[in-house]
Chains A and B, each alone.
Chain A
């Protein structure tokens, strides 16, 4: 093989299923995306909200372990969740959880082969954003009513 003239060539070499090499663009780098586009913004937000949710998973574990440990440990969790920091954390986790859930449903629809055309992608993207807002508000309403 001759020396490549352009380093970008390295990202253009793929392989057909029979093993022959073919020039085709592979995963483009981050810089080609306009992060103000809803499509790419929701895409990276799906990852970020998945990571944020980990904080909620840790609190869930703390809550269960404290309930098993006894009233004093349990009161400590409940106190934390009612504190400023706890409420802030719950707010973030609840919004992130609804976003990740709705965007996850969108991903499952894509995996099933549905919703790839651009108008549908934008429609479902808007539905994820609006749905996150509505469900987060409803969750907080339920929390405040039952507190």
Chain B
């Protein structure tokens, strides 16, 4: 059978069960989860990022003591931890899509995505540890 521009497309027997099709999870078995989490993190990052940029832009010449005291404040520490976690989540999944779109060798694609995820986890842990350490400093600096 052939199909041309004018002809009707051929029908094909489905190898999927109706349940599988209804679930809509596709071959990656995640459905729209990756896409959806990218939107959710972007909505959360919107106020967090604006808060962070405005906070730092209005206090550019901070000394070390001023910076530590600013990070130590409970509200700032909570928002910083949320910002760091969401930033690295959003960055890793955003870069993953870019890699998936432009890499055509499967091994390279997997290697790059794993490398990005690894770096994002390590930098994220380092940033979280830094905030926690500053909050836990025993003395007033």
Contact = CB atoms under 8 A, between A and B. Distances in A.
Q: Do A and B come from one complex?
A: yes
B9 A2 contact: no
Given A19-B12, A57-B87, A108-B43, A146 B60 contact: yes
A45 interface: no
A147 B87 CA distance: 26
Interface string A65-107: 1011111001100100000000000000010010001001101
A137 B123 CA distance: 30
A41 interface: no
Question: Contact residue range for chain B?
Answer: 35 or more
B11 A71 contact: no
Nearest to B7: A23
Interface in B11-59: 11-12, 14, 16, 21, 39, 42-43, 46, 49-50, 52-54, 57-59
B53 A20 contact: no
A57 B123 contact: yes
B76 to A, nearest CB: 11
A21 B10 CA distance: 6
Given A17-B21, A60-B127, A64-B71, A143 B39 contact: no
Majority-rule SS of A interface residues: helix
Contact of A61 (B49, B68, B71, B126): B126
A54 B91 contact: yes
A64 B61 contact: no
Given A19-B14, A61-B127, A111-B39, A146 B58 contact: yes
A53 B60 CA distance: 19
Question: Which 4 A-B residue pairs are closest in the complex by CB-CB distance?
Answer: A68-B130, A2-B2, A19-B14, A64-B130
Interface of B: 1-3, 5, 9-12, 14, 16, 21, 39, 42-43, 46, 49-50, 52-54, 57-62, 64-65, 67-68, 71, 80, 84, 87-88, 91, 94-95, 98, 123-124, 126-127, 129-131, 133-134
Given A19-B21, A23-B5, A57-B91, 4 more contacts: A23-B9, A58-B123, A101-B50, A146-B60
